[in-house]
Structure 1
Amino acid sequence: MTAVQPRRSAAMIASIADPGVRTTRAPFGDALVKAAEADQRIVGLAADLAKYTDMHVFARAFPDRFFQMGMAEQVMMAAAAGMAEVGQIPFAATYSVFATRRAYDFLCLDMAEPGLNVNIVAALPGLTTGYGPSHQATEDVAILRGMPGLTIVDPCDAVDIEQAVPQLAAAPGPSYTRLLRGAVPRILDDYDYSFELGKAKLVRPGDDAVFVSSGLMTMRGLLAAERLAEQGIDVAVVHCATLKPFDEDTVLAHVADDRPVFTLENHSVIGGLFETVAAALARRGGSGKKIVPIALPDEFLAAGALPTLHDRYGLSANRVADRVREELSATPG
């Protein structure tokens, strides 16, 4: 009797790009190659996942500057710290769950405490895979936000990634980037936008409500805003590509008025962008203002087809637009 093999659904590893949105293949890999051509100190490391983090592009271009560490994330972190200690600029790639849950202590004490320029590039952040809790890093930002001296970057698209890589290489101290891999959406170059490490940016103005978003949810927020505009609802989008250090001044300048505020994040509602914005408001004396979080629930998520999961957990552009309409219809006046 022949055993039945489980079928592997392509939808579980589908691109996060919505229909009609342009994509760029492996923007991180190409950006790292370009940066390495200009700076011989840049090296790349992978923990047996070079192909799945787009680090293989760098490995092919610079085989003598690429180090395959095997399935040993803690060893990779320690090796990257050692390289930074002697003047190299490492970019170390793995999955988010392994970088945070498995190698936290090495990132903290080997990189952050001595302030070394090591750049962790972590694929599959939040709900960007359908392979269940073992691969879904829905709490990675919450785990890392309390680490002193660590920069956390949550890029929206290929534009963010391409512009972030050289800035991360030049910045002091360690960084953690929530990598979008493979066929990555390309949407921000349709707006007057450029990535600036440590800064939030108003990407789209709007008079009726405000989205404060990060990561792929800025893309979904922009798409939802376009759909809402067709119904006469004008939504502003403030993109927080850097989650730490957090640009309180820019964000609070756009949420200080009477417009309803929504935070959009591909992360648990616990410990991420929603709580960061709420804490910033409280520090500035605006704690009475309501913020509506659009985020992943505080639970282990299901496995399944990625588009279905995004719709189920409220991350799709249609679900974001629905949530805004519901909130605005329930608001007096």
Structure 2
Amino acid sequence: MTKMIATRDAYGEALKELGRINKDVVVLDADLSGSTKTAVFKKEYPERFFNVGIAEQNLMGTAAGLATAGKLPFASTFAMFASGRAFEIIRNSICYPNLNVKIAATHAGITVGEDGATHQALEDISLMRSLPNMVVLSPADGVEAKQCIYKAAEHNGPVYIRLGRSKIPVIFDENYKFEIGKGVELKKGNDIALIATGIMLEKALVAAEELSKEGISARVINISTIKPIDEDIIIKAAKETKGIVTVEEHSIIGGLGSAVTEVVSENAPTYVERIGTMDVFGESGDGNELLEKYGLNVKNIIDKSKKILSK
């Protein structure tokens, strides 16, 4: 049976380990530590944990202040509130002075499920990657999530890490090595390139297997760093295949799909089909059922691939 773990759970465990090896690590939360899993750190290092209450702008401002004092702050809340409500503080108090603040935002995407549209951040990648100095990470599973946290801690400057609520399949083993700014080719193929991020990587891998049964060779690329994006791996895919399908649990506007099309339009024009939410809000429901309703599924990846190959 496939091991399942939520990326937010991996975040909590990574924080605990970071706290042990680096005494400058501090963690801030906006009254959601049980959900964001920062409570794991709080239990081990209560003197380095700060609950600012339901005040996300203060969360970011306080984290910025701690960074100026030489601390390594991780600020957490739900992605909707981190990227939306606190945007101006992130822009002017963290990114503008290029402070060493890590924003670990949980409950991103449509799979927040029953909490509904008000809590389903489908625009956060777009918002965060528009900010100068900001690195944007979107891990595909628990293994990669832990490594993203460790690498974010090593990086000097603002980092936004996108984490999910739901348990998802573990794709990578402990030998996997994540690097900021590097995509990874997980499956070779020269007919079509499937470029995915976050929880949609697993579905891209399944789609590639299904396509292979029909004689279609699909390359699968994991882009866990949305910014700075790995242009080389995208350009190579554009030149060596007949087209690209991007797959993300985010709006097609401003997310991975937009980032990939920006790269190929300037360097190696090719057919691109984008899978994500189509300029709509989400709704309340079971996370897996919502993925199906909004076309974030294996069937749509296969259909979009065949659409390109039929041109």
The residue that corresponds to 1:135 in the other structure is: 119
Tell me the secondary structure at the aligned position of residue 92 of structure 1: strand
Tell me the secondary structure at the aligned position of residue 173 of structure 2: helix
TM-superposition CA deviations, 1:12-61 (whole Å, max 9, x none): xxxxxxxx531236111111111221111111111011111111111111
CA distance in 1, matches of 2:3, 2:40: 21
The answer as to whether partners of 1:199 and 1:247 remain within 8 angstroms in 2 is yes
1:135-174 to 2 correspondence within 5 Å?
A: 135-174=119-158
CA distance in 2, matches of 1:325, 1:53: 39
CA distance in 2, matches of 1:45, 1:184: 26
Which one has the largest radius of gyration? 1
TM-superposition CA deviations, 1:127-158 (whole Å, max 9, x none): 12122220111111112221100000011011
The answer as to whether partners of 2:111 and 2:286 remain within 8 angstroms in 1 is no
The residue that corresponds to 1:3 in the other structure is: none
1:220-231 to 2 correspondence within 5 Å?
A: 220-231=203-214
CA distance in 2, matches of 1:293, 1:97: 22
The residue that corresponds to 1:314 in the other structure is: 295
CA distance in 1, matches of 2:16, 2:243: 42
Of stretches 223-232 and 153-162 in structure 1, the one that deviates more from structure 2 is 223-232
Asked if residue 206 in structure 1 is aligned to residue 189 in structure 2, the reply is: yes
Aligned-residue CA RMSD (Å): 1.7
Q: 2:180 aligns with which of 193, 197, 200?
A: 197
CA distance in 2, matches of 1:124, 1:21: 22
Structure number with higher helix proportion:
2
CA 281–58 in structure 1, closer or farther in 2 if over 3 Å, else same: same
Structure 2-normalised TM-score? Answer: 0.94
1:184-333 to 2 correspondence within 5 Å?
A: 184-189=168-173, 193-284=176-267, 286-287=268-269, 289-328=270-309, 331-332=310-311
Letter in 1 for 2:150: P
The answer as to whether partners of 2:190 and 2:241 remain within 8 angstroms in 1 is no
The unaligned stretches of length 5 or more in structure 2 are: none
CA distance in 1, matches of 2:172, 2:303: 23
The unaligned stretches of length 5 or more in structure 1 are: 1-19
The answer as to whether partners of 1:28 and 1:181 remain within 8 angstroms in 2 is no
By how many angstroms is 1:189 displaced?
2.3
Tell me the secondary structure at the aligned position of residue 235 of structure 2: helix
The residue that corresponds to 1:5 in the other structure is: none
The answer as to whether partners of 1:100 and 1:144 remain within 8 angstroms in 2 is yes
Structure 1-normalised TM-score? Answer: 0.88
Asked if residue 106 in structure 1 is aligned to residue 86 in structure 2, the reply is: no
Identity of aligned residues (%): 34
Letter in 2 for 1:308: E
CA distance in 2, matches of 1:77, 1:53: 16
By how many angstroms is 1:231 displaced?
3.3
By how many angstroms is 1:324 displaced?
2.9
